[in-house]
């Protein structure tokens, strides 16, 4: 409790999907001085606004969540913007944190940084053993450079920064915009809209053979808090649930939970993305005691319920 009570905390991206859950979690831990500005308040691609943000809040701890994100379609349509915006936001946030004497910087990366053909389960030591999957490589590499920066700043400036690698997140408050959403909210929306419209089928990208691991968003917020409190080393740490499910099995599970009884068609002209994703999460448990606790089916039900309450118009 004392870590949070006596700390001036800045969360970039604090109004986003993960950010909103993290803010609630940190407030529950007793934080008295917590800042979570939105992109409307500060455009972190602009270094002048990054400086302005630091000079207004003078934080002791920074948790950097701010990112431009999206599914395979959004990454394919905007590779240049996804690279530039994410790189600039992160590089400038870390540099200004150093210049403004921030005591601890928590950089939240992405599983998209891993090589396309990483042995399963993904271990942190394999992070540099190949090139990321092509459809999201610009985004993954931009976020990966923040790990290099954190390690370089620790070596040269004794800057206390850590780097976390969360797997695909899902849960209440997710992005259900079909143009930019990730796979779980996209499939939930497809099933519920098809059910409402009495459609006989839905179309899903790819073959369904690719696998993914998913982490409930509140579990991820807990992991970030534990790492911020207890972890102070330069090596990256995976944050996940240590589960793996194929997209084919995922859509059948979502169809069952949403009671969509139509046909599922596969558009094999569209990419699968990375063939497999599943993290080795033993390091997080060893270093700061994190282990995911939300059963996948329970988390999906909560996500579906949230969508029905907030998005059905």
131 is catalytic: no
Q: What is the mean pLDDT of residues 259-267?
A: 96
Which pLDDT score, from 0 to 100, does residue 70 have? 85
pLDDT tens-digit series, residues 8-66:
999 999 999 999 999 999 999 999 999 999 999 999 999 999 999 999 999 999 999 99
pLDDT tens-digit series, residues 274-312:
899 999 999 999 999 999 999 999 999 999 999 999 976
Q: In angstroms, how far is CA 90 from the centroid of its own chain?
A: 14
Question: Count of residues for the chain?
Answer: 313
Kindly report the CATH number that applies to the domain delimited by 2-170+213-243+275-294. Answer: 3.40.50.720
pLDDT tens-digit series, residues 210-251:
999 999 999 999 999 999 999 999 999 999 999 999 999 999
- Angle in degrees, CA 39, 162, 33, rounded to 5: 50
The residue annotated as part of the active site, out of 42, 54, 114, 139, is 139
pLDDT tens-digit series, residues 155-200:
999 999 999 999 999 999 999 998 888 899 999 999 999 999 999 9
Task: Answer whether 203's CB lies under 8 Å from 263's CB.
Answer: no
313 pLDDT tier (thresholds 50, 70, 90) = low
CB neighbour list of residue 90: distance below 8 Å, 6 or more residues apart = 64, 107, 142, 143, 145, 146, 149
Which pLDDT score, from 0 to 100, does residue 179 have? 83
Ranges of each domain in the chain: 2-170+213-243+275-294
Neighbouring-strand partners of residue 105: 62, 161
Q: Which of 50-59, 90-99, 103-112, 173-182 has the lowest mean pLDDT?
A: 173-182
Structure tokens at 298: 């329970």
Cα–Cα distance between 69 and 60 in angstroms, integer?
27
Cα–Cα distance between 208 and 159 in angstroms, integer?
43
10 Å CB burial of residue 101 (0-12, 13-18, 19+) is exposed
Cα–Cα distance between 131 and 254 in angstroms, integer?
32
pTM of the model: 0.94
Tally of CB atoms within 10 A around 89: 25
Asked if the model's pLDDT at residue 1 lies above 70, the reply is no
């Amino acid at each position: 409790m004392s870590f949070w009570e006596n700390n001036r905390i800045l969360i970039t991206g604090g109004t986003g999907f993960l950010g909103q859950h993290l803010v609630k979690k940190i407030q529950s831990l007793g934080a008295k001085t917590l800042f979570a500005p939105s992109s409307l308040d500060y455009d972190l691609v602009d270094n002048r606004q990054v400086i302005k943000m630091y000079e207004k809040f003078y934080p002791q701890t920074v948790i950097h969540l701010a990112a431009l994100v999206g599914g395979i379609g959004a990454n394919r349509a905007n590779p240049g913007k996804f690279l530039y915006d994410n790189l600039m936001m992160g590089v400038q946030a870390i540099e200004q944190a150093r210049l403004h004497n921030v005591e601890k910087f928590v950089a939240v990366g992405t599983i998209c940084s891993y090589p396309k053909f990483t042995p399963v389960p993904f271990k942190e030591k394999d992070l540099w053993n190949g090139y990321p999957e092509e459809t999201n490589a610009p985004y993954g590499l931009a976020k990966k450079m923040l790990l290099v920066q954190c390690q370089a700043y620790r070596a040269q400036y004794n800057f206390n920064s850590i780097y976390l690698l969360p797997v695909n997140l899902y849960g209440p408050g997710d992005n259900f915009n079909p143009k930019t959403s990730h796979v779980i909210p996209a499939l939930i929306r497809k099933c519920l809209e098809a059910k409402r419209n009495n459609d006989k089928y839905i179309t899903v990208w790819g073959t369904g053979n690719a696998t993914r691991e998913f982490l409930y968003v509140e579990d991820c917020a807990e992991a970030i808090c534990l790492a911020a409190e207890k972890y102070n080393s330069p090596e990256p740490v995976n944050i996940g649930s240590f589960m793996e499910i194929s997209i084919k099995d995922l859509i059948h599970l979502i169809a069952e939970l949403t009671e969509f009884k139509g046909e599922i068609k596969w558009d094999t002209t569209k990419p699968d993305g990375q063939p497999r994703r599943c993290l080795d999460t033993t390091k997080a448990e060893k270093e700061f005691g994190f282990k995911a606790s939300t059963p996948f089916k329970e988390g999906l039900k909560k996500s579906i319920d949230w969508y029905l309450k907030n998005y059905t118009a």
